Amino acid sequence: MEQTNKIVEYAHVLIKLLQDVLYDEESATWSDLLTFQIPVRDYFAKIGLELHLDEREGFAFLKQQDGDDVKLPRLVRRVPLSYEVSLLCVLLREILEEFDVKDVASRKCFVTAKELQEKIEIFFKDAPNKVRLLDRFDKTIQTAARLGFLKETPGDSLNDDMRYEVRRVIKAKITNEKLEEMKRKMQLYADSALSEEVV
């Protein structure tokens, strides 16, 4: 008799994590992740992946460790960020930090496209490429959403402005150390652009 491999009961959790970030909003899958956390971790460890689970913030995703010991193809892609996207990510991190300081009942932080545009414009008030930046604003927003840092949500029916939820996974993907590094690079970029204008 041909022997078939039995599918583990937490297979759906593995597949979901391989697809994307898992949030506690998906209550059934999230509950199963917490129940089968140890075998899930063990499974991914065997293929060089680490489970990043934050129960308090309510999300989980896979990380691929860098190291010279084992050379494996990258499952988790590294995405180079443009200056505009980097700036938006920094702003989103700061918006979320400010939100968390407030004593609010909800854990979800929302921001409109107009609010984001106003915050970005501050950094380009006197720059000659401000018009070009604003032309690419929608694309910048879409990139942040594709990276999982923003989620489009239904807004006020009386207001046509698009509303987004700032996804908490950005705090894990862009750590405080990474945030400071991005700020330094952006400052160097801004100083370089200013020097070119003066010359």
Q: Which domains does the chain have, with CATH numbers?
A: 1-78 (1.10.10.2250), 83-198 (1.10.10)
> CA–CA distance from 6 to each of 9, 11, 34, 36, 61 (Å)?
9, 10, 21, 16, 25
Please calculate the CA angle 194-119-163 and round it to the nearest 5 degrees: 145
Average pLDDT (49-67) is 90
pLDDT at 190: 63
Average pLDDT (62-80) is 74
Give residue 60's pLDDT band: very low, low, confident or very high (50, 70, 90).
very high
- Beta strand spans in 131-181 (E): 150-153, 163-166
Tokens of 16: 């979901």
For residues 61 and 167, what is the distance between their CA atoms, to the nearest angstrom?
13
* 84-130: pLDDT as tens digits: 888 899 999 999 999 998 867 788 999 998 999 888 887 776 666 66
Of 131, 127, 167, 128, nearest in space to 147 by CA: 167
Which residue carries 């892609």 as its tokens?
A: 77
Tokens of 87: 């700036």
Among 39-43, 99-103, 183-187, the minimum mean pLDDT is found in 183-187
> CA–CA distance from 145 to each of 78, 125, 142, 164 (Å)?
16, 25, 5, 9
CB of 55 closer than 8 Å to CB of 66? no
